Structures are given as structure tokens and as C-alpha cells.
Structure 1
Amino acid sequence: MKKWLALTVMTAGIVLLGWGIWQIASTHLQTAQSLDEAKKVVATDQGMSKKQFAPEIGKASGILTIPKLKADLPIVEGTDADDLAKGVGHYKDSYYPDQNGQIVLSGHRDTVFRRTGELDIGDQLKITVPYGEFIYEITHTKIVDQHDTSIITLQNEKEELILTTCYPFHFVGNAPERYIIYAKRVSE
């Protein structure tokens, strides 16, 4: 009986470990493919006007560069699970750079935004889309409850970049809070 129990526990552990490794590898592969797609979109559609820019849900629309982390991350239109598995999700009803509104980008804390806790006030973020490059500077951060919906206002009065991810960063399971990074545009 002890041998059977030990074998069952070991088998379950191996299966869970294998599943976890497969999930991580799959996400990294999807993110790499999305980054290649984003680079093509940015290069191919250069000169497109911001009025012509209308990315499809699930498709790469641009690149988020975080110089301090030496990271180039694909921006994918949409924030459902499939979209976030490909990269940084752009909240579909929010704005893009130079559209004078709230730009909301979300990502998983254990994939694309794994190191966002290393960012400080004053660090820069760059968004590249087919109609230009836009630089933002982090102004402040905030931690809110996971159910706090006051962060996404979709205001159209001033341009602001908001990055959101789950928090605490090393929490196992569904995190109870969200880490919010606010940034203001500093130049093109």
C-alpha cells in the first residue's frame, strides 16, 4: 500500500511539473511569435496615420520597450487569457498614444511583467506603433484590491499610460491585489 501511494504521489508530481514547464514554454513561444509579428506590423505599416490604426483583437499592434529591464514586449489587442498569453494586452476600449486618453496595458506577473517591481519613479517606457514612437516616464505606482475597477476610467482628457499586473509578484494562485504603474508622456 505504501509503495502504491508513493508511486501515485510521484506520478502526480511529475505530471504537474511537466504541465507547468509546458505552460511556461508555450507562453514564451507565443510571446516570441507575437514580438516578431509586432516588429513586422511596426515596420510594414510605418507612416500609417493614427486614424487608420485599428488593430484586431488578438493581433499584435505594437511594442512596449522597458529600457531598464532591457525588455521589448509585444502589445496585443485585447486582455482575455488568449491575448495575455501572447504578450502585453491592450485594454480594447482604451486609447493608443497620441489619442489624448488613458492607455491601459495589462500583463501577467509571471510572464511579461515578471520584473515590473524593479521599476522606479522616473524610469522610462516606450511604445512603438506604426504611426510613431512615444516615450513615457513613470510618475507613481499604486497597489489596489483585485476588484477595484476605479483604475480604468477610459478618460479622454489627457494622455496617460497605465500598466497593470497582479500582485504580490511571487504569490502562488490568484493574487488578491493589482500593481498599477502610472506614466506620463515626455516626448515622441
Structure 2
Amino acid sequence: MKMKVFSLLLIAAGLLIIVYGGWKIYDTNRQTGDSLTDAKKAVAAGGSLDGSSAESFKPAMGEAVGILYIPRLKAELPIVEGTSADDLEKGVGHYKGSYYPKQNGQIVLSGHRDTVFRRTGELELGDRLEVEMPYGRYAYEIIKTKIVDQDDTSIITLQNKKEELVLTTCYPFSYIGNAPQRYIIYAKPL
């Protein structure tokens, strides 16, 4: 009798985990879709927005501000200001304090390996990345990738000597739980 109850509890726990996981995937996809719609509106508004030039562009935290295109993956991803857990559920997070295109500095974009950046491991050196903002569309070429420890923050320099695009995500891609490393992609403007 005790074994039967224990088995039923295990089955119930497993079903709850599956339902919760399914809900999280659905909710993240919904939020990313909503953010993409908002980002497209922001980009389409272009010059009619306050701060629509590169120099004065300063969006609010959590705001959908642009679109990251990854042609090789046929991906169109919303860029959201901020990298909190809530921001990353909406799309690709722009690291606060980093720059935007045409601001002559390090642009840092982060995303979850199991949502928006789940296929970044398929990218190769020379692949193109495009960032569309309300003030223009900018192309970059991947020039380097590397893997670092999860606490290695040396890749975020926030330098403003030359423009570079840096994508970050957790690694290994198929790891379950909190990944011990980060996968970094460096790209230069074209």
C-alpha cells in the first residue's frame, strides 16, 4: 500500500514538473512575441521618437528597443533594455551601461540558451548579425567566440574606444540547470 501511494506521488510530481515546464515555455514565447511586436513598433516609429538619434538614445528599463536579426538562423529577436530575469523572458537583454550601435563602444546583448539563443552554437566565424534600432539598421560580422567561467565578467569592459557587438549566453547549451560557463560571440561592424 505504501509503495502504491509513493508511486502515485512520484507520478503526480512528474506531471506537475511537465506542466510547469510547458507553462514556462509558453509564457516565455508569449512574452518574446509581445516584445517583438513592441520592438517593431519602436523601430517603425523611427524619427518620431524622442531620442531617436544614436547619441541621445536612452531607453527605459524593460522597454523593447530594437531587433536582433541572425540571418543564418532565420531569427528575428526583440532587444529589451536590461538583463534581469524578467527582461530576459521578454527577449534579448541589452546590458545596462553598455552602448548601442553608432555610440562607438561595446554593445552587450544577453539571452537564455534555452529560449532566444538556443541555436547560437550553430553560428560560425564570418556570419552576419544585424541590429535594427529606431535610428537605423547596422550589420556586424562574427570574428571570434570563446567560452568563459560563469563568474568571468572580464568580457564586459564597457569600453568606448571602438564599436563591437558582444552576445553572451549560458554554456553548455544542453546543460540542465544553472550552466557553469558562458558562451561569448564577438562581432565587428561591417
Q: TM-score, normalised by structure 2?
A: 0.96
Q: CA deviation at 1:46?
A: 3.6
SS at match of 1:183: strand
Which consecutive residues of structure 1, in runs of 5 or more, have no partner in the other structure? none
Q: CA deviation at 1:52?
A: 3.3
Q: TM-score, normalised by structure 1?
A: 0.97
Alignment of 1:111-122 (within 5 A): 111-122=115-126
1:149 aligned residue (142, 146, 153): 153
| Alpha-carbon distance in 2 for matches of 1:52, 1:89 | 19
Superposed CA deviations along residues 136-174 of structure 1, whole A, max 9, x for unmatched, are 000010000001010000000000000000000000010
Q: CA deviation at 1:123?
A: 0.2
1:35 aligned onto 2:10 = no
Which consecutive residues of structure 2, in runs of 5 or more, have no partner in the other structure? none
SS at match of 2:90: coil
What is the identity, as a one-letter code, of the residue corresponding to 2:64? Answer: A
Q: Show the counterpart of 1:127.
A: 131
1:166 aligned residue (167, 170, 177): 170
Q: Show the counterpart of 1:94.
A: 98
Instruction: State the aligned residue count.
Output: 186
1:184 aligned residue (179, 184, 188): 188
What fraction of aligned residue pairs are identical, expressed as a percent? 64
| Alpha-carbon distance in 1 for matches of 2:19, 2:113 | 21
SS at match of 2:161: coil
Superposed CA deviations along residues 107-135 of structure 1, whole A, max 9, x for unmatched, are 00000000000000000000000000000
| Alpha-carbon distance in 2 for matches of 1:79, 1:33 | 17
What is the identity, as a one-letter code, of the residue corresponding to 1:66? Answer: I
Q: Show the counterpart of 1:108.
A: 112
| Alpha-carbon distance in 2 for matches of 1:46, 1:114 | 33
Q: Show the counterpart of 2:15.
A: 14
| Alpha-carbon distance in 1 for matches of 2:120, 2:160 | 26
Q: CA deviation at 1:51?
A: 2.8
Q: Show the counterpart of 2:24.
A: 23
Q: Show the counterpart of 2:6.
A: 5
Q: CA deviation at 1:45?
A: 2.5
What is the identity, as a one-letter code, of the residue corresponding to 1:45? Answer: G
What is the identity, as a one-letter code, of the residue corresponding to 1:44? Answer: A
SS at match of 1:85: helix
SS at match of 1:114: coil
Q: Show the counterpart of 2:142.
A: 138
